[in-house]
Amino acid sequence: NAGVTQTPKFQVLKTGQSMTLQCAQDMNHEYMSWYRQDPGMGLRLIHYSVGAGITDQGEVPNGYNVSRSTTEDFPLRLLSAAPSQTSVYFCASRRLGVNEQFFGPGTRLTVL
Amino acid sequence: GIQVEQSPPDLILQEGANSTLRCNFSDSVNNLQWFHQNPWGQLINLFYIPSGTKQNGRLSATTVATERYSLLYISSSQTTDSGVYFCAVERAGGTSYGKLTFGQGTILTVHP
């Protein structure tokens, strides 16, 4: 199993541009989520999904959209990037009924 | 929401020394994980330990759920142990399902 994969690894955007961060898992995990990590801080939850077609907001959802059309994929969309969205983004997944979560390698995003 | 406090914030060791990292949390939890974030930014699962004691090589962890704290022990530290150690918890209760709250982390530096 590849586990949780994320693309791209690095991205630089200009203010106002849009982009999608990709996340995929091959473990058939129902639950997937997105976190952001700012310098010197722990991770904070952006959005999460308990299954295909079901998404909900986390602690810091503003400026981000998500959708879950398949069990495997959970993309994160920035519609109009802002410098405040400069961060490292992590995707995570877990199996329902099993509490342990597994994280992807992260995407480092810089918004100029 | 649930509060997670880690101590110490920074720790500097000589290779071979032992250390104890602490995580206090403010509410009942059904998930507690320890992660190591290496210098390349990867989050590595160390322990899933909502209660009890586990050991993995030179690392061990103990969670006393009734007193709302967890300890991570590192023995005979090596330079490769350097990085940031995070504690993350999921508050018990249906509305917090899958939502991990991270502490601020302990920055560990091990000198040769």
pLDDT in tens, A16-39: 999 999 999 999 999 999 999 998
Ranges of H-type helices in chain B: none
- B→A interface, C-beta within 8 Å: 1, 4, 30-31, 33, 35, 41-43, 45, 48, 50, 86, 88, 90, 97-105
* pLDDT per residue of chain A (112 residues) written in tens, 0 to 9: 789 999 999 999 999 999 999 999 999 999 999 999 998 778 999 999 999 999 999 999 999 999 999 999 999 999 999 999 999 999 999 998 887 889 999 999 999 9
Element (H, E) at A103: strand A102-103
Strands (E), B15-100: 19-25, 29-37, 43-48, 52-56, 59-64, 69-74, 83-91
Q: Measuring CA to CA, which residue among A74, A59, A83 is closest to residue A27?
A: A74
Closest CA of chain B from A82, distance in Å: 23
- Chain A CB contacts of B104 below 8 Å: 40-42
Q: Measuring CA to CA, which residue among B40, B48, B30 is closest to residue B84?
A: B40
CB-based contact, A46 to chain B, within 8 Å: no
pLDDT, tens digit, for every residue of B37-86? 988 888 999 999 999 999 999 999 999 999 999 999 999 999 999 999 99
Query: How confident is the model over B3-10, as a mean pLDDT?
Result: 96
Q: Which of A45, A88, A92 sits opposite B41 (nearest CB)?
A: A88
Structure token pair of residue B87: 């504690």
Q: Which of A58, A59, A103 sits opposite B43 (nearest CB)?
A: A103
Q: Which of A41, A48, A100 sits opposite B33 (nearest CB)?
A: A100
Residue B54 in contact with residue B45, Cβ under 8 Å? Answer: no
Q: What is the rounded distance in angstroms from the CA atom of residue B91 to the CA atom of residue B42?
A: 24
